[in-house]
Structure 1
Amino acid sequence: MSAGICSKHEAGLSDRLDWRLMLPLFAIVTLYAAGIGAVLPVLPFYLREMGASPLVFGIVLATEALSLSAASPLLGQLSDRFGRRRVLLASQVVAVVSLLLLALAQSIFTVLLARFLFGLTAGNFSAAAAYAADNSSPTTRRQAIGVVNAALGLGAIVGAGLSSVLSDISLTAPIYMALALSASGVVVTTFGLKGGKVVRQATDEPDRERISLRAITGHPVIRVLVIVMLCHFFAYGMYTSQLPIYLADRFVWNGHALGPREFAYIIAADGVINILVQLFLLGLLGRFFSERRLIILIFALFCIGFLTAGLASTIPVLAFAVLCISTADALAKPTYLAALSVHVPSERQGVVMGTGQALVAVTDIASPVMAGFIVGLGLYGAWIGAVVAIAITGAVIAATRLPRQSDSETGTPAPPG
């Protein structure tokens, strides 16, 4: 597809979101995220009953992240070729199979296989974000992708709440609930998801070269955005992966050390902040902040939050740190993905969204290892210092290398390369 055809397609889109298309997508992503939220709280205890060590649990999480990082770009590219709806359906069916396998697992190897398969369902987010990009104009794209992220936040809250109740029955009850939620997502996708068709052009060799992945990643702004995203998600991954240990060692709640229940409060608060930011704050900031300034604001909030968490000695100060960090992270993903999407033709949205998701997965593999090594030595100050240093690096790169006025701010898509 040529840039001209891409522009004509986007020019036909309203400057207001079409909620008839967004609401079914919101429901699909919410159901998917609720399934994840229902399983994660019980997974370590489920493995412990099988005799697994914490190291084995880490290997299971790393395996899931590895399959996710491998699958995201591929499934995004397949959604460009075969459509968002088909890829969403396929990934949801795989999720149902993996959750059934997990619920029936009698060995650690079976759990490992089940989570590897679940990592392959990363196409859910890639295709959903691409669908949101397809059905929004450049001026509403950040808000549209924000809707997808708000669904992730709501799903996490719902899933964690269900898990806390059902885990009293058995550790497999939340898994079966996740299975039911994923099956419901298949139904909603089949009967509720409309639109999202990819605008295609008669294939010819010159245009194929122009829209190739190599041409897309050759765009200088995209290269900078990729580096900025790596800084963001690596810093965030280092922080979140060791936060429970840090809280257990440093804070007291009602006379006892912070434990799983208190950490669940933080997760719930993060989900609420995510929803509020995606639905209200993101659109408001998008009117007054350019792409570059919004990214700098995100890193500024990160640094304030990380430093505050490192110095906090009371719960209110810690709550302020969580507010800053959760707000920054909630702003981040839709901002980054929207910034990426406006620099490529619409028929390549899927592969770009998938690549962005893969970057997150790669940092999810590496950042906990580095953070775990530092925290394992008891160097909490060095841990916070490393996180802040990475965030500052991302802010400096964004401030010096991103254009002061990008094509996304003017509403005109950039050429693909």
Structure 2
Amino acid sequence: MPEDQSTKISIFPIMMVNFIGTLGLSLVLPFLVFLVERFGGNALIYGILASMYPAFQLVGAPLLGKWSDVYGRKKILFFSQAGTLASWLIFMFALLIPVVSVLDVSSNSLGKFTITIPLILLFVARAFDGLTGGNVSVANAYVADITSEEDRSKNFGRMSVSMNLGFIAGPALAGLLSVTIYGELLPVLAAVIISFIGTVLIALFLQESKECIQSFNNKKNNVKKLLAYEFGNCNESGKGPQPKLKDALKLDHIPFMLVVYFLVFLGFNMFYTAFPVHAIDNLKWSVADMGIYFSVLSLMLVVVEGPVLSYVSRFFSDARLAIFGAVVLASNFVLLSYSDFYLTYLAAVLFAIGNGFMWPSMQSILSRLAGREHQGVVQGVSASFTGIASIIGLIGGGFLYEMLGSGTFFVAATMVYLAFILSFRFLSFETKK
């Protein structure tokens, strides 16, 4: 890609895609745990349902990331967004059919729950969205394509801002729509409409970020072509084959970065499973309380990842911001364990500062290490690592909460504190430039 291409393509359309995708997801976030219980599930089933997306993304994201290197980012983003639209249609159908019991379970270790037809459809919807859910990794590769080195951290911060704006608007909109006589149906219908708008936006307004799209040798096996195991000669120099997955993993420091990603997401997802149940059991929160909390948290994230990060990044490197953010983020989980209303909101402040500094900085470091040629495949592999961590964290968080209650947040904090210790190695990456 020519050096000046970053000045020709605006980041705004991909930010809108990011916002729309998050808005659709966050619409159901405040009431999903209540919906699972209504359909017969318990906290464990909620954790397993939440893990369906990352579990199937584990399969889909690396493939879609690799395809984006081959066919271009725009085509794969369109395919991924269309899959999200289809998944919300399945989700909406689950709300419209009768609750029919398939299996009753009563166990000392698993608890009591009932498998119902609508609950099964929720699992199908989340699984299908995960399978086609390469939009985050491909969007990150897109941003790396169009961004110069000096603007990399700032633009990843902007992507995080667009995501968190979706998390502000989604819960608030869900709260307004769910109080009608239609209950959860209107928020889900809104998610369908929003996903459709996202699909149209990609088709009509998003420019392709890669000038050089790989072409296949027609003599190659069709299955290998489909899975992108065979590449044509198309890279930065126009000569030689594109790197494969195993080649990307051999890049300097990439495996180490993936380990840190894994620990951070492990802690994150223990929190995401435990907190809604903790809020209901210990804080006695309602759907509205949950929606307000997530909206406030996301608003603070927007402030931190927008003007605050843009300012402090002038004075501190990505490595230092990531280190500082990690220790603050871990400390937020410790405060959550005290089950106090005011400490919970103080924890939200720490969450916003820690995540707002750490995550865009880590994304910037990873994209810099990947280089131009490896963006799609490296972002896809990172999505797989975070997917594995999400599966373990979401399901493990449910089990841990049954055993430890609020003590689960100490386990989550431990994971991120480990990432904090390891992140000091990021400083050596800067000295070796």
Q: Same fold (TM over 0.5)?
A: yes
For 1:208, the equivalent position in structure 2 comes to 241
**Superposition misfits of 4+ residues, deviation over 6 angstroms:** none
Conservation of the 8 A alpha-carbon contact between 1:278 and 1:330 = yes
For 1:111, the equivalent position in structure 2 comes to 122
Following superposition of structure 1 onto structure 2, how do residues 398-409 of structure 1 map, counting pairs within 5 Å?
A: 398-400=423-425, 402-403=427-428, 405-406=430-431
Rounded Cα–Cα distance in structure 1 between residues aligned with 2:51 and 2:355: 22
Following superposition of structure 1 onto structure 2, how do residues 73-152 of structure 1 map, counting pairs within 5 Å?
A: 73-105=62-94, 106=97, 107-108=117-118, 109-152=120-163
**2:271 is the alignment partner of 1:239:** yes
**2:308 is the alignment partner of 1:281:** yes
Counterpart selection for 1:221 from 250, 253, 259: 253
Conservation of the 8 A alpha-carbon contact between 2:43 and 2:398 = no
Counterpart selection for 1:355 from 381, 390, 395: 381
5+ residue gaps, structure 2, are: 98-116, 215-231
Counterpart selection for 1:337 from 363, 376, 400: 363
* TM-superposed deviation, 1:69: 2.0
Following superposition of structure 1 onto structure 2, how do residues 265-344 of structure 1 map, counting pairs within 5 Å?
A: 265-311=292-338, 313=340, 315-344=341-370
Structure 2 counterpart SS, 1:332: helix
Counterpart selection for 1:162 from 173, 177, 184: 173
For 2:219, the equivalent position in structure 1 comes to none
Q: TM-score normalised to the size of structure 2?
A: 0.81
Rounded Cα–Cα distance in structure 1 between residues aligned with 2:410 and 2:33: 29
**2:183 is the alignment partner of 1:191:** no
Rounded Cα–Cα distance in structure 1 between residues aligned with 2:56 and 2:151: 32
Structure 1 residues 266, 190: CA separation in 2 closer, same or farther (over 3 Å shift)?
same
Superposed CA deviations along residues 91-124 of structure 1, whole A, max 9, x for unmatched, are 1111222211221233333332222111123222
Structure 1 residues 51, 320: CA separation in 2 closer, same or farther (over 3 Å shift)?
closer
Letter aligned with residue 317 of structure 1? L
Structure 1 residues 380, 86: CA separation in 2 closer, same or farther (over 3 Å shift)?
same
Per residue, is there more helix in 1 or in 2?
1
For 2:399, the equivalent position in structure 1 comes to 373
Structure 2 counterpart SS, 1:39: coil
Rounded Cα–Cα distance in structure 2 between residues aligned with 1:30 and 1:312: 31
Superposed CA deviations along residues 302-353 of structure 1, whole A, max 9, x for unmatched, are 233233333574x333322211122222333322222111122323212222
Letter aligned with residue 127 of structure 1? V
Q: TM-score normalised to the size of structure 1?
A: 0.84
Conservation of the 8 A alpha-carbon contact between 2:47 and 2:395 = no
* TM-superposed deviation, 1:155: 1.2
Superposed CA deviations along residues 266-311 of structure 1, whole A, max 9, x for unmatched, are 2111211221222222222322222322221112212332333335
Letter aligned with residue 73 of structure 1? P
* TM-superposed deviation, 1:391: 2.1
Counterpart selection for 2:410 from 385, 388, 392: 385
Rounded Cα–Cα distance in structure 1 between residues aligned with 2:297 and 2:345: 10
* TM-superposed deviation, 1:204: 8.1
Structure 1 residues 391, 59: CA separation in 2 closer, same or farther (over 3 Å shift)?
closer
* TM-superposed deviation, 1:151: 1.5
* TM-superposed deviation, 1:404: 5.5
For 1:66, the equivalent position in structure 2 comes to 55
Structure 1 residues 336, 100: CA separation in 2 closer, same or farther (over 3 Å shift)?
same
* TM-superposed deviation, 1:384: 3.6
Conservation of the 8 A alpha-carbon contact between 1:21 and 1:195 = no
Structure 1 residues 111, 368: CA separation in 2 closer, same or farther (over 3 Å shift)?
closer
* TM-superposed deviation, 1:144: 1.5
Counterpart selection for 2:186 from 173, 177, 184: 173
What is the alpha-carbon root mean square deviation over aligned residues? 2.7
5+ residue gaps, structure 1, are: 1-5, 252-256, 411-417
Superposed CA deviations along residues 115-140 of structure 1, whole A, max 9, x for unmatched, are 21111232221221111111101121
Letter aligned with residue 63 of structure 1? M
Structure 1 residues 266, 403: CA separation in 2 closer, same or farther (over 3 Å shift)?
same
Aligned length: 389
Rounded Cα–Cα distance in structure 2 between residues aligned with 1:258 and 1:25: 35
Conservation of the 8 A alpha-carbon contact between 1:134 and 1:198 = no
**2:372 is the alignment partner of 1:346:** yes
